[in-house]
Structure 1
């Protein structure tokens, strides 16, 4: 898929928002990618996740894993495209865990996926979890890297869309200075 095709999907689905947003990281931004708007359409989800899968074909991936919530559908569809199993992690008491009797075997080749990364914090936690269980992380696949490639995860990272989105510390936010209320559109209310 071309960048234009991917942007077209995000535009058609209303997944690219403008305004004043409070991100999960605590920072503020004037743009937000609500990938749930794309993921509600199975035909778009399938196309995008097939693209991620193609980028990791031939790498021996045995399992795909993504953090809840945003990574669940991405993990499932990428795993389906690769013909492997799909797992997801959940946060419990502030810590990323595998629950529901999910496990990763020592030496198992795992692809970590996510819908959007800004700082890469959640993905880094999943990588640490997989490695702690003895799994081998072959890479990270993501729909949108809004860090513009600045989130260094220490492994091969493939983003379908890499964008530079300006973020601000809350106490130095020009949108706050203008009196524009910040909203938190994501799934976690922090």
Structure 2
């Protein structure tokens, strides 16, 4: 395997670990999909978690601005899905620290863990497992900028940006694989891709 695996190699690993599944899946919003992606299923296994983290860190390290500030670089992630990716990337990069934000309740904004602080002028890399709506990453970006710090990049294992995903440019986005963002459909208007397989219900 190359220093940075190809998209095909990444997707093969995700399928082997059960992180990327093909079948008939019903989502809480009533829509269906013929695939289900859950990155933490790949991060259960140390060797795969390390490979994915190192590969993503190599993409990030290619940025000269980030490379020049590695020893002072902070990793910021939304809990909980981004945490294993953030710690893996931090270790591979030998970055300075990891901190994260979480919601106390579903209808509340993301908040930094108590006693965590973002320092003015700090260089921050946002990390998550998947980029879809971009809503959580946009919240993190605002928190960083409101504190007077700078987001120097966004790193995700898989990019699957929805049509309404925010435009983060000029901030660079790094990913190991890209998937079709239009992965959900109305089952009443489209036939199932795997008609002989049962429909699996995805929990909210």
Which TM-score band applies after superposition, normalised by the shorter structure? 0.7 to 0.9
1:86 aligns with 2:98: yes
Query: In the alignment, what sits opposite 2:175?
Result: 159
For residues 181 and 6 of structure 1, what CA distance do their matches in structure 2 show? 26
Query: In the alignment, what sits opposite 1:134?
Result: 148
* Equivalent runs, 1:46-85 vs 2, <5 Å: 46-57=50-61, 58=64, 59=66, 60-61=69-70, 62-84=73-95, 85=97
SS at match of 1:77: helix
For residues 107 and 19 of structure 1, what CA distance do their matches in structure 2 show? 47
TM-fit CA distance, 1:163: 0.8
1:40 aligns with 2:50: no
For residue 137 of structure 2, the aligned residue among 123, 128, 145 is: 123
Q: Greater CA radius of gyration, 1 or 2? A: 2
TM-fit CA distance, 1:65: 1.3
Kept in 1, the 8 Å contact 2:76–2:124? The answer is yes
Kept in 2, the 8 Å contact 1:112–1:139? The answer is yes
Task: Map Cα deviations across residues 26-74 of structure 1 (whole Å, 9 max, x no partner).
Answer: 4734122111110111211111111121122241241111111111011
For residues 50 and 28 of structure 1, what CA distance do their matches in structure 2 show? 35
TM-score w.r.t. length of structure 2: 0.78
For residues 103 and 123 of structure 2, what CA distance do their matches in structure 1 show? 22
SS at match of 1:70: coil
Task: Count the aligned residue pairs.
Answer: 181
Moved over 4 A (4+): 175-182
Query: In the alignment, what sits opposite 1:28?
Result: 31
TM-score w.r.t. length of structure 1: 0.83
For residue 8 of structure 2, the aligned residue among 4, 27, 48 is: 4
Q: Give the unaligned 5+ runs of structure 2.
A: 193-197
For residues 182 and 163 of structure 2, what CA distance do their matches in structure 1 show? 13
For residues 103 and 21 of structure 1, what CA distance do their matches in structure 2 show? 40
Name the CA shift for 1:166/1:79 in 2 (closer, same or farther; >3 Å): same
Kept in 2, the 8 Å contact 1:75–1:88? The answer is no
TM-fit CA distance, 1:168: 4.5
